[in-house]
Structure 1
Amino acid sequence: MATDASVPAFDAKRMPAPFRPFFLIAGLDAIVGAAVWLPSVLRIQGIGPTGISRGDWHRDVLLFGMVPAILTGFLLTALPRWTGRRAVSPITTRLLVALWLCSRGTFLFLSHSAGLALSALLVLTLLLIAAGQVIASRDRRNLKILFLLLVFCGGNVLAAASYQVEFALRLALASIIGLVMIIGGRVVPALTVAYVESAGGRVTLDRSAVLEYTAAVVAACGFGMWIVAPQAQLTGIACALAACSQAMRAAQWNGWRSVASSTVLALHIGYGWIIVGFGLLATHIFAPASLGQAAAVHAWTIGAIGTMALAIMASMIRKHSRRAFAPSVPATSAFIAITICCLSRLLVELLPGYVAPLTGLSGTLWVGAFGLFLVAFRRILISQI
């Protein structure tokens, strides 16, 4: 695989980085989706803004709206650097943005199922573009990304068809967390080393190949068993082992060295929510009366996906603006807000008598976190779109 030095960098004047429009619309979608859903939560109504249930509304906005936008922006920007291939053209980027907008417009105003089907089409298109780059470069390391994109697309299709919906959602969520684990495993340690060295320090991460492989296999087993047998005792054992192996993996990255950088610290915290999610899921399986499955799901969706999305978007924006570790009060506030957002949502499972205020607080903080993100990076995201 080509090194970074041999990969054509984005020329901001001739070819704007694809992340700009996608990170912008992802942030707006995250805000609008929660803001529209939030009043129904506070009134404890059962129907969402398009006639579907509240749970279906905010679940589908997150998994099949915001996430595909972030994935598309990130992968279209990162894959050329990973594979040594040329960047996608601005026309391709604009067409994908148009497809995403059609998906969301259809979802909001015409048909829930048709909107999800268009979202699946976007993911399939991204998969084909990524496959072209990976296969042409013979980059076998990224074949697992193609596989997980295919699985996510399959979950999206099943959800659009309203077929085996719970199975489809587990399939989609597991594939997204798998992608977060792969991307996080590359981005988090690399940025940790870069930050420590930029601050004048030195750090060498002692990463065990055996541990990396073992953690990946155990997590895959845990997810696979959860998808097909979500309440089985063996699934609980696999998830407990996955939590332990992922904790050992993350411990190699020396997260404590990054406490002075909010973005790098947020990456470590975001990855930590994956570990928490596995632990909570194992707890639910072994003691279902004391803890619901929603705790693990929200640790993964709000904690891991929400936090990692904000931190990875922020780090990519800063890298391409050549301000890798520049401090930002709005960005730091966004990371704090998303962390409290996740904690308040998890408290709902422990304090069922306070569902409305805690859920309302969590939704408000989610809106605030992505709003602060857009405030922090609005000029970079809006320019040259």
Structure 2
Amino acid sequence: MVWVYGFRVFFLILPLAAMGAVAPLPLLWLGGAGGGAMGAWHGHEQVFGFLAAALAGFLLTALPSWTGCRPVTGGALKAMAALWLAGRIGFWLDGVLPPWLVALLDLGFLPALLATALPALGRKERRPWEFCLVLAALIAGNAAFHLERLGVVAVAADRILFAAIDLFLVLVAVAAGRILPVTIRSALVEVGQPPDIRLPPGRRHLAAATLCLMAVAELAAPHSPVTGWLALAAACAQADRMTEMHHGAALRRPQVMLFYMAHLWMVVGLGGLGLAILGLPLDPLAMRHALGLGAAATTVLAVMSIVALRHTGRPFPLPRAVWVAPALVGLAAALRVGVPHLDPEAMGVWGVTVPALLWSAAFGFWLWRFAPWLTAPRVDGQPG
């Protein structure tokens, strides 16, 4: 059953990827392997393992709905999952396998995902050109990460990973432009208000454009004041976009509030990062965790929950249990952002170990709650 649509298999393996990406962190802080190497490993697996699986589950489901192209199913979908899994196995065996083999195992997945999206560019309407461009940039970033490990290029790995997180936030901004109208309308219906809304494209374009500039600046000059001001501009653009979701009681419905929370984390992370670059005594790495651990993960949970509901033939409202995982992730993010500033000596326990446990519990709970939907036929009898 899981091989009939992309969201089923990738949303089943994504929680496992989320847990695996943080599993070594307590060892780093409490018993300690090498910090630099482990930090790069963790960052890569969060971006090119966890977030890449989320992107695959979303795109392999959304593109057929948006463009009418055929979904990837059966053997082709199994091959996609195998490519993703090969990359994860390669990184878990990093240090046992030679770096060139780890790179070879890891570099196949995103190009395969891009290949599945390219036919949709030939459609007349709703062509996903922005997703294809960002995917191409992520492919280049992943290649640069491995080339740095092989000693071929001199760009620092952390700069590549920071720019990659920014690119995923660009995708969040773009995808929200397509998802928010549907989710806001459904929320308005739930609270008995007319579902007639129109979201002008200006806010969406500004949010995406400032994040694109931020990604370029982080890669080229991460400590420049220009980068700091661009981060503040991106924070303001996300804050401005949050006003699109102000529709009375509809804002309190989970399909809207979760996106609102994700954008709030973006404002915190981008604003804090910009101020840190400009000289305020804030921890830049903590602010980046507000972006990855807070904004990106909350968006992933929102999208997974909505897609799992709609594409298994279930109507809104979302179940109340949908709040549990974002609440745990939000608490984990708050600890990871707050502890370095309030009590740096407690980082090992309260800044790393407890957030890792909360993060794992969040995705474990989501998997427990939604796996029955993902492994069963659609309740309305439709294919998919």
Change (3 A) 1:210 1:59: closer
8 A contact 1:68–1:119 mirrored in 2: no
Change (3 A) 1:140 1:187: closer
Distance 1:298 1:59 in 2: 10
Moved more, 256-265 or 23-32: 256-265
Look up the equivalent residue of 1:93 and give its one-letter code. L
In the alignment, which of 229, 248, 266 is matched to residue 258 of structure 2? 266
Distance 1:194 1:140 in 2: 21
8 A contact 1:79–1:130 mirrored in 2: yes
| CA-CA distance at 1:143 after TM superposition | 0.9
| CA-CA distance at 1:42 after TM superposition | 5.3
Distance 1:318 1:338 in 2: 21
In the alignment, which of 18, 28, 33 is matched to residue 46 of structure 1? 33
Alignment partner of 1:89 is 2:77: no
Change (3 A) 1:115 1:305: farther
Look up the equivalent residue of 1:373 and give its one-letter code. W
| CA-CA distance at 1:368 after TM superposition | 0.6
Distance 1:32 1:170 in 2: 20
Distance 1:39 1:95 in 2: 33
In the alignment, which of 362, 366, 370 is matched to residue 355 of structure 2? 362
Unaligned runs of 5+ in 2: 378-383
Q: Kindly, what percent of the aligned residue pairs are identical?
A: 27
In the alignment, which of 334, 338, 350 is matched to residue 329 of structure 2? 338
Q: Partner residue of 1:246?
A: 238
Q: Partner residue of 2:146?
A: 160
Alignment partner of 1:132 is 2:123: no
Q: Partner residue of 1:277?
A: 269
Distance 1:138 1:44 in 2: 56
8 A contact 2:87–2:107 mirrored in 1: no
Distance 1:100 1:302 in 2: 21
Distance 1:210 1:69 in 2: 29
In the alignment, which of 51, 55, 59 is matched to residue 71 of structure 1? 55
Q: Partner residue of 1:5?
A: none
| CA-CA distance at 1:344 after TM superposition | 0.7
Moved more, 70-79 or 207-216: 207-216
Q: Partner residue of 2:133?
A: 147
In the alignment, which of 332, 335, 338 is matched to residue 347 of structure 1? 338
Change (3 A) 1:115 1:328: farther
Distance 1:80 1:168 in 2: 31
SS, match of residue 66 in structure 1: helix
Look up the equivalent residue of 2:345 and give its one-letter code. G
Look up the equivalent residue of 1:155 and give its one-letter code. G
Moved more, 74-83 or 220-229: 220-229
Change (3 A) 1:97 1:170: same
Change (3 A) 1:382 1:208: closer
Normalised to the residue count of structure 1, the TM-score between the two structures is: 0.87
Deviations 1:125-180 (A, max 9, x none): 1111101222x214575211111001111111111222422332133222111111
In the alignment, which of 296, 302, 308 is matched to residue 305 of structure 1? 296
In the alignment, which of 205, 218, 231 is matched to residue 213 of structure 1? 205
Moved more, 346-355 or 364-373: 346-355
Task: Give the aligned length.
Answer: 367
Look up the equivalent residue of 1:126 and give its one-letter code. L
Change (3 A) 1:255 1:103: farther
Deviations 1:7-49 (A, max 9, x none): xxxxx79x72211111111111112332x3144045241338x
Normalised to the residue count of structure 2, the TM-score between the two structures is: 0.88
Alignment partner of 1:373 is 2:366: yes
Look up the equivalent residue of 1:178 and give its one-letter code. V
SS, match of residue 202 in structure 1: coil
Moved more, 323-332 or 308-317: 323-332
Alignment partner of 1:102 is 2:63: no
Q: Root-mean-square deviation (CA), in Å? A: 2.4
Distance 1:218 1:28 in 2: 32
8 A contact 2:231–2:270 mirrored in 1: yes
Alignment partner of 1:322 is 2:313: yes
| CA-CA distance at 1:241 after TM superposition | 1.6
